[in-house]
Chains A and B, each alone.
Chain A
Amino acid sequence: MTGPKDTGPKDLEGDVPTTGHSWDGIEEYDNPMPRWWLYTFYACIVWAIGYSIAYPAWPLISGATSGLLGYSTRGQVADEMASAEAANAEINAQLAAVDLPGILETPELQQYAFSKGAAVFRTNCSQCHGSGAAGAKGFPNLLDDDWLWGGTMEDIHATVTHGIRNTTDPEARYSEMPAFGDLLSRSEIAEAANYVQSLSGPANDPTLVAAGQTVFEENCTACHMDGGIGSRELGAPNLSDAVWLYGGDYDTLVATITNSRFGVMPDWGSRLTEADIRAVTTYVHQLGGGE
């Protein structure tokens, strides 16, 4: 028979040399590799040459060859960000245009604003308010239902846009507590601190509390109101609830009354887009205390 046949590597005639190695008596024939394999290898080399011309490849002293296609991973990220921006342009415009409570009423908009707001928050707000928005001493906890300047969408939006007690935005929310260390005696301050503590906790020494009430009514009710319920117009904290910004223990209260407090927040209106601000407003509103 003369037809082509029988391609398999084998060695029945004993004319194929072995590789010369022997592993536990097992030897390996030195059969030729298939030629297509060689061509595949050549094709890979050609491909690699073309690839290294088209794409960044060869290291140079500073940097690398940039490739004919001008590809870079940084450029790719920029492209992807730009296309994400473009894809969201319409809904961002919508977000910036609707009235604030309307955001909560449109599920699609609300979901978008919440996710976007979470990202804005992590980037810009978490440094002070914490990544979980639980705040810290002097930085309000945004998860509870206690608000210094109000917890409606409009209130939060105004606070984020203009900030608090900053010098850069004339519309920033502003109020200033006097340092009563210059105005009251030490004993008066101690009495006032006792009274404030009694508003939200068990009464301490009744005589100090009674004296403190007088001091409080003469000096503090203009902002903190009768009974210490606070005022949102003035950002005066409610002193009768369980939430404290700087701490409700006696020593902290004395320090606060003596030296005053002056918490500042930047005006984000000058740094973020309206859509970003509305998104983060939605996010904060949905953290569990929105009104």
Chain B
Amino acid sequence: MSSSDGLYAAREPIFPKRVSGRFRRLKWAIMAVTLAIYYVTPWIRWDRGPELPDQAVLIDLAGRRFFFFWIEIWPHEFYFVAGLLIMAGLGLFLFTAALGRVWCGYTCPQTVWTDLFILVERWIEGDRNARIRLWRADWDGKKVRLRVTKWIVWILIAVATGGAWVFYFADAPTLLHDLVTLTAHPVAYTTVALLTATTFVFGGLMREQVCIYMCPWPRIQAAMMDEDTITVAYRDWRGEPRGRHRKRDVLVAETTRTATPAALSPAPVLAEPGDCIDCMACVNVCPMGIDIRDGQQMECITCALCIDACDEIMDKVGKPRGLIDYMALTDEAHERTGAPSIPVWKHIFRLRTIIYTALWGGIGVGLVVALFVRPDLSFTVAPIRNPVYVTMSDGTIRNAYDLRLRNKQGEDRPFRISITSDAALRVQAEGSDDAIVSVPADTTKQQRIYIMAPPGAPAALRDSTDVRIWVQDMVSDERAEKETIFNGTGQN
């Protein structure tokens, strides 16, 4: 128990012990994959032609473009990002409802980087017992040497982490060159410094404190789990009464001392000893420093390392695995009555998760469809309403419109502007005699156009006339259209 003498308690360091097993292997694999994705992605090249950047994933803030391999997102398509965020949200609902805090345990950057930092710590300072000894030891030469070595490696990792982040926002090779030659923009250095500091502090020093006190996710997740959600749990009905010794008289004392949950005591006192040999292996490996045998706790990130640890022990003492296991609350109820537990697929495929999956998939399909049907050519029309019309010297009534023409091609394109409406109406682009506008590659061009009704024409005299403006790419023949209105003098 942490010291409760006072308002504030110092963090008690945790020294997770090395463990091996299937979940540890899975975690190593996920760590390798996620870190590789993070560090490698900005360096992937993708040819888009001479005018556009050749970085596969690039958030070009100054140019207001997001490049993702063959996809290019413009600011007016930000709904794609909103859609992705909604999908991310629903995905988390789905995974939390089905598998609890699986995100926390396997893929959260806080978990992945903490794992990496602990790995380094173990390489340099040794496993749990050595680290505890070192922690207790006075500051002699050896301790200083080990600590400084560890901190240097941590800082190198932190710099690489912060450094990789900025490569997503600029051409990576250029930026790396600039960073190294001290010619990069101060914002780049500030970002790297900030992320270096947070990586070092969060991964090296604060670790589980971030999860327990800073992250809102554990609280939110509690609201999204239910009795069918699969989490890490201890089969206390099988493990208790726990004990190292097999003698019943000792067992009584043990049970009293370790304060089993109230629901279990005092009945097992005289029962056969449980499977738990109270070796503390599960506690020693826990990166959150908790004892899973106390039941489900807010701190548990379901990293499953305690499952690996206990399985190893069970193998050694010749008992079946799974004293600590992934299971749902309903399983517990079943098993206590002696019924077989519910198969995993039944926990996962149920109405709630199916609805989440359907929503998630529906939005995903919608986004993909939107991605494929979105035109390479698009424009907006802003009618000028100050004034609504201008009388020219020959009596022509003229309306002005500002078009924003988007050319998403990697080359300059001529666009022809035309209208369908009353036959008498004519269209003309500002600064030219016709209605052909050249739009530079990968830009939006604002172009004013005029629509004119000759004197006395119905459209000149009516209050308003519907007009459809067409823009045609003269190379690809792709067309786009917009409805708007032509204002006359309103005399008729």
Q: Which residues of A contact B (CB under 8 A)?
A: 1, 3-10, 12-13, 15-16, 31-38, 130-132, 134, 141, 143-146, 200, 238, 241-243, 286, 288
B431 at the binding interface (Cβ < 8 Å): yes
The smallest C-beta distance from A6 to any residue of chain B, in angstroms, reads: 6
Give chain B residues whose Cβ lies under 8 Å from the Cβ of A143. Answer: 387, 390, 398, 400
The residue in chain A whose Cβ has the minimal distance to the Cβ of B208 is: A7
B379 at the binding interface (Cβ < 8 Å): no
Give chain A residues whose Cβ lies under 8 Å from the Cβ of B386. Answer: 130-132, 134
Complexed CA–CA distance, A169 and B129 (Å): 94
Query: Is there an interface contact between B290 and A6, defined as CB atoms closer than 8 Å?
Result: yes
Complexed CA–CA distance, A7 and B297 (Å): 12
Given A7-B14, A132-B387, also A32-B431 (CB < 8 A): no
Give chain B residues whose Cβ lies under 8 Å from the Cβ of A134. Answer: 386-387, 390
Give chain A residues whose Cβ lies under 8 Å from the Cβ of B209. Answer: 34, 36
The smallest C-beta distance from B218 to any residue of chain A, in angstroms, reads: 12
Query: Is there an interface contact between B8 and A38, defined as CB atoms closer than 8 Å?
Result: yes
**Chain B contact residues: over half helix, strand or loop, or mixed?**
loop
Give chain B residues whose Cβ lies under 8 Å from the Cβ of A200. Answer: 395
Of the A-B pairs whose beta carbons lie under 8 Å apart in the complex, a sample of 13, sorted by A's number, is A3-B15, A3-B129, A6-B283, A15-B1, A33-B8, A34-B10, A34-B209, A35-B10, A143-B400, A144-B390, A145-B392, A146-B393, A238-B393
Give chain A residues whose Cβ lies under 8 Å from the Cβ of B284. Answer: 1, 3, 5
Give chain B residues whose Cβ lies under 8 Å from the Cβ of A6. Answer: 1-2, 12, 283, 289-291
B11 at the binding interface (Cβ < 8 Å): yes
Query: Is there an interface contact between A12 and B391, defined as CB atoms closer than 8 Å?
Result: no
The smallest C-beta distance from A281 to any residue of chain B, in angstroms, reads: 15
Give chain A residues whose Cβ lies under 8 Å from the Cβ of B448. Answer: 288
Complexed CA–CA distance, A33 and B213 (Å): 9
Query: Is there an interface contact between B394 and A241, defined as CB atoms closer than 8 Å?
Result: yes
Give B291-315 interface residues, CB cut-off 8 Å to A. Answer: 291, 294, 297-299
Give chain A residues whose Cβ lies under 8 Å from the Cβ of B430. Answer: 286, 288
Give chain A residues whose Cβ lies under 8 Å from the Cβ of B1. Answer: 6, 10, 13, 15
Complexed CA–CA distance, A32 and B3 (Å): 8
Give B182-216 interface residues, CB cut-off 8 Å to A. Answer: 206, 208-209, 212-213
Complexed CA–CA distance, A238 and B387 (Å): 22
Given A32-B8, A33-B7, A35-B9, also A7-B390 (CB < 8 A): no
B355 at the binding interface (Cβ < 8 Å): no
Given A5-B14, A12-B294, A288-B450, also A33-B393 (CB < 8 A): no
Among B213, B294, B391, B395, the one with the most A-chain Cβ atoms within 10 Å of its Cβ is B391
* B interface size (C-beta, 8 A): 52
The residue in chain A whose Cβ has the minimal distance to the Cβ of B294 is: A12
B288 at the binding interface (Cβ < 8 Å): yes
Query: Is there an interface contact between B392 and A146, defined as CB atoms closer than 8 Å?
Result: yes
For the complex of A and B, the 5 pairs showing the least CB-CB separation, nearest first, are: A132-B386, A241-B393, A242-B395, A134-B387, A32-B9
Query: Is there an interface contact between A5 and B387, defined as CB atoms closer than 8 Å?
Result: no
Query: Is there an interface contact between B384 and A144, defined as CB atoms closer than 8 Å?
Result: no
Among A8, A16, A33, the one with the most B-chain Cβ atoms within 10 Å of its Cβ is A8
Query: Is there an interface contact between A4 and B206, defined as CB atoms closer than 8 Å?
Result: no
The residue in chain B whose Cβ has the minimal distance to the Cβ of A142 is: B390
The residue in chain B whose Cβ has the minimal distance to the Cβ of A1 is: B280
Given A4-B14, A5-B12, also A243-B291 (CB < 8 A): no
Give chain A residues whose Cβ lies under 8 Å from the Cβ of B11. Answer: 7, 34-36
B366 at the binding interface (Cβ < 8 Å): no
Give chain B residues whose Cβ lies under 8 Å from the Cβ of A141. Answer: 387, 390
Complexed CA–CA distance, A16 and B299 (Å): 18
Give chain A residues whose Cβ lies under 8 Å from the Cβ of B431. Answer: 286
The residue in chain A whose Cβ has the minimal distance to the Cβ of B5 is: A32
Q: Which residues of B contact A (CB under 8 A)?
A: 1-4, 6-15, 128-129, 132, 135, 206, 208-209, 212-213, 259, 261, 280, 283-284, 288-291, 294, 297-299, 384, 386-387, 390-395, 398, 400, 430-431, 448, 450, 455
Query: Is there an interface contact between B393 and A145, defined as CB atoms closer than 8 Å?
Result: yes
Give chain B residues whose Cβ lies under 8 Å from the Cβ of A8. Answer: 2, 212, 288-290, 297-299
Given A4-B132, A5-B289, A34-B209, also A144-B12 (CB < 8 A): no
Complexed CA–CA distance, A200 and B10 (Å): 93
Give chain B residues whose Cβ lies under 8 Å from the Cβ of A36. Answer: 11, 206, 209
Query: Is there an interface contact between A243 and B391, defined as CB atoms closer than 8 Å?
Result: yes
Query: Is there an interface contact between B398 and A288, defined as CB atoms closer than 8 Å?
Result: yes
Which residue of A10, A38, A288 contacts B390 across the interface (Cβ within 8 Å)?
A288
The residue in chain B whose Cβ has the minimal distance to the Cβ of A132 is: B386
The residue in chain A whose Cβ has the minimal distance to the Cβ of B213 is: A34
The smallest C-beta distance from B334 to any residue of chain A, in angstroms, reads: 26
The residue in chain B whose Cβ has the minimal distance to the Cβ of A134 is: B387
The residue in chain A whose Cβ has the minimal distance to the Cβ of B395 is: A242
Query: Is there an interface contact between A242 and B8, defined as CB atoms closer than 8 Å?
Result: no
Complexed CA–CA distance, A131 and B384 (Å): 12
The smallest C-beta distance from B255 to any residue of chain A, in angstroms, reads: 14
Which residue of B8, B212, B391 contacts A35 across the interface (Cβ within 8 Å)?
B8
Complexed CA–CA distance, A6 and B292 (Å): 10
Given A5-B14, A6-B289, A288-B430, also A132-B384 (CB < 8 A): yes
The smallest C-beta distance from B443 to any residue of chain A, in angstroms, reads: 12
Which residue of A9, A145, A146 contacts B2 across the interface (Cβ within 8 Å)?
A9
Give chain A residues whose Cβ lies under 8 Å from the Cβ of B392. Answer: 144-146, 242-243
Complexed CA–CA distance, A132 and B387 (Å): 6
Give chain A residues whose Cβ lies under 8 Å from the Cβ of B261. Answer: 12
Give chain B residues whose Cβ lies under 8 Å from the Cβ of A33. Answer: 7-9
Query: Is there an interface contact between A32 and B2, defined as CB atoms closer than 8 Å?
Result: yes
Query: Is there an interface contact between B400 and A144, defined as CB atoms closer than 8 Å?
Result: no
The residue in chain B whose Cβ has the minimal distance to the Cβ of A110 is: B431
- Having A5-B284, A8-B298, A288-B430, one finds 13 other A-B pairs with CB under 8 Å, namely A3-B15, A4-B12, A7-B208, A13-B1, A32-B3, A34-B213, A37-B8, A143-B387, A144-B391, A146-B393, A238-B393, A242-B395, A286-B431
Complexed CA–CA distance, A34 and B299 (Å): 14
Complexed CA–CA distance, A242 and B299 (Å): 81
The smallest C-beta distance from B454 to any residue of chain A, in angstroms, reads: 11
Give chain A residues whose Cβ lies under 8 Å from the Cβ of B15. Answer: 3-4
Give chain B residues whose Cβ lies under 8 Å from the Cβ of A4. Answer: 12-15, 132, 135
Give chain B residues whose Cβ lies under 8 Å from the Cβ of A132. Answer: 384, 386-387
The smallest C-beta distance from A284 to any residue of chain B, in angstroms, reads: 13
Complexed CA–CA distance, A144 and B400 (Å): 11
Query: Is there an interface contact between B455 and A242, defined as CB atoms closer than 8 Å?
Result: yes
The residue in chain B whose Cβ has the minimal distance to the Cβ of A32 is: B9
